[in-house]
Amino acid sequence: MFMILIHHFAYHGTFNGQQFDMHRASVQVVYNYLLIIGKAGVVAFVLIGAYFLSDKKFNFNRPVNLMIQTIFYSFVIYYVVITWFPNYIKPIKNVDMWLPFPLPSNYWFVISYIVMLFLMPILNMILNNFTQQKLLLLN
């Protein structure tokens, strides 16, 4: 998670590598490394999640609970920020916060994780029924 936070700091935060000129190439290198670290963090998070889901049976409540939590925290965080720091965020339509889907609200990771949750029974069946040689052929 810390690696993902580093990526968000580099990409969305005050450390913007695009604002530096090319005479400061070392700053651009650091910026690029921070972005790469964040991408690796997302991959690690998904792999760890898939590992722990590999032996579990499918439970429809898991993706539903994830969607409900995403909607709840989206509203809570938005209304806290808009109430206490109205100059830092522009008002958005509530429909953008209602659905944990990539469009229109850009919850790309949540929808990817929900898709992985729905695909886990099929992936588990493949892992349990295929031999090691067949699994290697899938690569």
Q: Where are the domains of the chain?
A: 1-53, 57-139
Give Cα separations from 56 to 39, 51, 52 (angstroms). 27, 10, 8
Name the token pair of 132: 């090691």
Instruction: List per-residue pLDDT tens for the chain, 139 residues long.
Output: 788 888 877 777 766 555 655 566 677 777 788 888 888 888 888 888 888 877 778 888 988 898 888 878 877 877 888 888 878 776 666 555 555 554 445 667 777 788 888 888 888 888 788 888 887 887 6
Q: What is the pTM of this model?
A: 0.64
